């Protein structure tokens, strides 16, 4: 069986965004793992218009080409890591909009979170967990919160992540949890599919 694939989703699109740096740091830390594959997913590559579909995606897929590409990309993964900022105590609008374009393709897969900002995007991550639950995602407890002085140093003063080694253990803890849930849920989805196929006359 091929290794499960994790999508690292950049949850902001603004010029000068910090999410690129956080994702690059994350990719360095996951490079040596043998249990999972990782791919960066940039919302800039999927310029979705403000959601205005006449029918919810849970009932009918969007006819927009960019929405179809976005759905196929999300569907290809076995789990997700959202790298997110926090805007006004909440989820970045561009991410919420992108999530609203897809339905069941997230279902029965795990999601982990890397947040940055004043409180490490803790409130945005809590909102994401609630949104993900509605889509039948398994949101993980362990997250990476880059907040306080670390956020100021990295975002404002341009310090490198190499100066923040104390953040690394939380990444490894998150990845271990993500690996367990990704393999467990992938196996469960596969078993369910096999049962359905064998039950088909």
Question: What is the structure's pLDDT at 192?
Answer: 73
Residue 148 in this model has a pLDDT that exceeds 90: no
Question: What is the structure's pLDDT at 196?
Answer: 67
pLDDT tens column, 160-169: 999 999 999 9
Q: What is d(CA 108, CA 133) in angstroms, rounded to the nearest whole number?
A: 10
Instruction: For the chain, give the mean pLDDT.
Output: 94
pLDDT tens column, 103-128: 889 999 999 999 999 899 999 999 99
pLDDT band at 2 (very low <50, low <70, confident <90, very high): confident
Range of the domain at 65: 5-199
Give mean pLDDT, residues 39-59. Answer: 94
Q: The pTM is what?
A: 0.94
Question: In this structure, what are the phi and psi dihedrals at residue 37, rounded to the nearest 5 degrees?
Answer: -110, 150
Which DSSP letter does residue 92 get?
Answer: -
Beta bridge partners of 90: 87
CATH number at residue 154: 3.40.50.360
Q: What is d(CA 78, CA 36) in angstroms, rounded to the nearest whole number?
A: 10
**Which residues lie closer than 8 Å to 178 by C-beta, 6 or more apart?**
6, 36, 79, 81, 110, 112, 140
Would you give the distance in Å from CA 39 to the centre of its chain? 11
Question: What is the structure's pLDDT at 32?
Answer: 87
Question: What is the structure's pLDDT at 197?
Answer: 63
Number of domains comprising the chain: 1
């Amino acid at each position: 069986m091929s290794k499960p694939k994790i999508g690292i989703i950049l949850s902001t699109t603004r010029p000068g965004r910090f999410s690129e740096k956080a994702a690059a740091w994350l990719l360095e830390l996951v490079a040596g793992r043998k249990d999972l594959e990782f791919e960066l997913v940039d919302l800039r590559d999927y310029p979705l218009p403000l959601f205005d579909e006449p029918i919810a995606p849970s009932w009918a897929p969007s006819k927009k080409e960019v929405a179809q590409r976005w759905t196929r990309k999300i569907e290809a993964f076995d789990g997700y890591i959202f790298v997110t900022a926090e805007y006004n105590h909440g989820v970045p609008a561009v991410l919420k909009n992108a999530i609203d374009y897809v339905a069941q393709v997230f279902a029965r897969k795990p999601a982990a979170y890397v947040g940055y900002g004043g409180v490490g995007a803790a409130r945005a991550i809590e909102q994401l967990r609630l949104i993900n639950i509605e889509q039948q995602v398994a949101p993980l407890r362990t997250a990476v919160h880059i907040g306080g002085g670390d956020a100021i140093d990295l975002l404002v003063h341009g310090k490198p992540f190499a100066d923040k080694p104390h953040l690394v253990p939380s990444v490894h803890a998150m990845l271990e949890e993500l690996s367990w849930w990704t393999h467990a849920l992938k196996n469960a989805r596969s078993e369910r599919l096999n049962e359905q196929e064998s039950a088909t006359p």
